[in-house]
Structure 1
């Protein structure tokens, strides 16, 4: 199996995990304050990374000035990203929040073209637009539930989370030329733990936290933070940022699927047809992948990606 095929499989699995994370996060923020949920998620992820330190610590080739890109990466995600997303899920449903992620591929494609000089083929643009149309089709036929008191505000906050994800994706693409994907994932988790600690401490804590809530937090901290981010960062080390971001069109599909199973939400025929359109758009966007220049607008020595 070639590295490119492994990257595509890693992305597919990462999208499935991230799709389920909207459900888990929606459940958790209904019990704890959003900042407490994110802090505990980051803390659990950090402890996990400390336990597997030999897997990600070696092979780091630090270059002068990289601290600002590493810090910027973590500032975009998890810091700003999770601030916006946790707030968004207080006002909108998990399904609608997942649908807003359809804007990410187009935003990343524009950013990659501008900053990384990546070439965008007509298949990619066409596939992205078809997938976005499918997501809007799903959104148009979705129903507002009691758990979405202000979906317009919630969806706007989710859009701001996607803007943060664009900055994160472009910086990770730059950094994977010299750093292992797991190292970058560990770095963002440690910084996120420090960032969210004071925010979590400003909120009143419950007297006790149920085991079911801890299980949800454990899933977010270990499976999502370590698994999904690790897989996504690995894919970015092998294929272009634009191609990688194209897979996020599958997030609304996975989110609706898990919401149907875990939250007993239902989907009508129109939504099922829209899901098929999303898959078609992703397949078209992957039809032809242009050669990837790894040199960003901010000059970086050209190196081969380090295998995790």
Structure 2
């Protein structure tokens, strides 16, 4: 799990470097052509009999559009305009957006802790995105931060849509076909950038290769491996370290700086997520009769 967190945390550095030479959509296309090829080989070996049902094609296509095409357009564009540190910090708002959408779409009733936590998280997100606590729509950094928020919104919608498919298909199957569909949709979108196409350096290619192989393929398997062996609360705590790794690596590798108010905003969000997750774990344990093993399998 620690390797996954490290790879995903430093992925923003690779995106920042690669997108300085390769347009955002084109970079995503190259990355996911490689990732799709790897995933297709793996699924043919591990799940040769798996097939996508006809009635689920539209859902899978939509999930691929949200989780791959739209998400990585906004993320790559956002990282290009803001710092890698800011981008990694803003990713911490994803669980909060998911909870809010779950309340709106599925009419779930929030607990008092969730309700108060949402307010604190919104305040934290505001500080993390605006940096100085003031909106500046003309700032390139602010626009980049806003693009990262759009990316997190796309990912939260993708997560909720994927819930409807999780009972029918394995995680590997979902990841493979959503990545494949998202990659196909990136092809026509990439032609918008054809005027920006140029030969890029071998260094940029290595960063894209790292993103495709390590962050989009290897990390998936490591994450699934960890989920099967660790408590959900533990894995969530690990994932909350991704912004920390991103900020530290941005400082060490790129010499980026993060304002104290942004760190405060990020810390507020992370504390809220941990508190909500602990509350969820307690309620799960209670419903499982206090048996940790039962709660773990829920």
The interval holding the TM-score normalised by the smaller chain is 0.7 to 0.9
1:262 to 253, 263, 287: 253
1:81 to 71, 85, 109: 71
1:283, 1:60 → 2: CA distance? 36
Contact 2:128 2:261 in 1 (8 A): yes
Please give the residue correspondences for 1:212-227 in structure 2 after superposition, counting only pairs within 5 Å. 212-227=203-218
**Aligned-pair CA distance for 1:103:** 3.2
Find the counterpart in structure 1 of residue 279 from structure 2: 288
Find the counterpart in structure 2 of residue 66 from structure 1: 56
Aligned length: 277
Find the counterpart in structure 1 of residue 292 from structure 2: none
Q: Which has the higher helix share?
A: 2
1:255, 1:136 → 2: CA distance? 19
Find the counterpart in structure 1 of residue 179 from structure 2: 189
**Aligned-pair CA distance for 1:247:** 7.6
Please give the residue correspondences for 1:155-170 in structure 2 after superposition, counting only pairs within 5 Å. 155-170=145-160
Find the counterpart in structure 2 of residue 53 from structure 1: 43
- Pair 1:269–1:94, CA change in 2 (3 A): closer
Find the counterpart in structure 1 of residue 8 from structure 2: 18
**Aligned-pair CA distance for 1:229:** 4.9
1:149, 1:124 → 2: CA distance? 32
Find the counterpart in structure 2 of residue 27 from structure 1: 17
Please give the residue correspondences for 1:128-143 in structure 2 after superposition, counting only pairs within 5 Å. 129-130=119-120, 133-134=123-124, 136-137=126-127
Find the counterpart in structure 1 of residue 289 from structure 2: none
TM-score (norm 1): 0.72
Deviations 1:18-56 (A, max 9, x none): 332222111101011112211110111012113323455
Contact 2:96 2:121 in 1 (8 A): no
2:237, 2:153 → 1: CA distance? 15
TM-score (norm 2): 0.74
Structure 2, unpaired ranges of 5+: 133-137, 285-296
2:272, 2:216 → 1: CA distance? 27
Alpha-carbon RMSD across the aligned residues, in angstroms, is 4.0
Structure 1, unpaired ranges of 5+: 1-9, 143-147, 292-306
2:236, 2:70 → 1: CA distance? 19
**Aligned-pair CA distance for 1:149:** 6.1
1:136, 1:246 → 2: CA distance? 22
**Aligned-pair CA distance for 1:72:** 1.1
Secondary structure of the residue that 1:89 maps to in structure 2?
helix
